[in-house]
């Protein structure tokens, strides 16, 4: 059983923590916004700020940009990349040998499952949506309006294998 002094000490620590907690978060945010990211990298934390991302144009009409975020899909190990695409972009049915996770960062990304591209099978995934594509499952996608940015991740080595009867990409 706890003594009265132990209870007062615990109450003091709890109230001090709840009072300091908002300030601690502000301090962490300030440190992360300054040069503290370098110190964190020295401790083993790796990250990328939006200003560090290098976008490579992969297609035009409509525009499609790719950015490697982490690792390399062609090599063994985890990887992540981002895609930014404009309305009119379509990916023909294809598969991957690894499970993929997709997080929609902005816009609405449309995806469907099947060996043939079918507009009526497209499911809308608005910003902040997340979904999983199991390994080997034929799927397709499109950007129907505006611009979309999404992040895809998996464990390599991976590939993008077109389904033979799936229809063309734009």
Beta bridge partners of 109: 125
- Number of alpha carbons in the 13 Å side-chain half-sphere of residue 73: 19
Q: What is the tens place of the pLDDT at every residue in 76-109?
A: 999 999 999 999 999 999 999 999 999 999 999 9
DSSP 52-78: G---EEEETTTTEEEEEEES-TTSSEE
Q: Round to whole Å and give the CA distance between 68 and 84.
A: 12
pTM value surpassing 0.95? no
34 vs 166, residue with greater confidence: 166
pLDDT (0 to 100) of residue 165:
72
Q: Is 28 helix (H, G, I), strand (E, B) or coil?
A: helix
User: Is 86 in contact with 61 (CB distance < 8 Å)?
Assistant: no
Q: Round to whole Å and give the CA distance between 17 and 149.
A: 39
Highest mean pLDDT among 15-19, 20-24, 28-32, 139-143: 139-143
Task: Record the tokens describing residue 162, joined without a space.
Answer: 């077109």
User: Is 127 in contact with 58 (CB distance < 8 Å)?
Assistant: no
């Amino acid at each position: 059983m706890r003594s009265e002094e132990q209870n007062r000490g615990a109450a003091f620590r709890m109230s001090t923590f709840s009072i300091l907690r908002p300030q601690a978060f502000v301090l962490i945010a300030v440190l992360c916004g300054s040069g503290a990211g370098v110190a964190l990298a020295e401790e083993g934390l790796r990250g990328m700020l939006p200003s560090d991302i290098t976008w490579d144009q992969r297609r035009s009409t409509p525009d499609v940009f790719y950015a490697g975020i982490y690792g390399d899909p062609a090599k063994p190990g985890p990887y992540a990349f981002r895609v930014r695409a404009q309305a009119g972009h379509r990916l023909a049915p294809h598969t991957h040998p690894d499970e993929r996770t997709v997080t929609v960062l902005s816009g609405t990304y449309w995806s469907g499952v099947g060996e043939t591209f079918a507009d009526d099978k497209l499911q809308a995934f608005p910003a902040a949506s997340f979904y999983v594509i199991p390994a080997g499952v034929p799927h397709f996608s499109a950007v129907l309006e505006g611009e979309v940015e999404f992040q895809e991740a998996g464990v390599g080595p991976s590939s993008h294998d077109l389904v033979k009867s799936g229809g063309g990409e734009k």
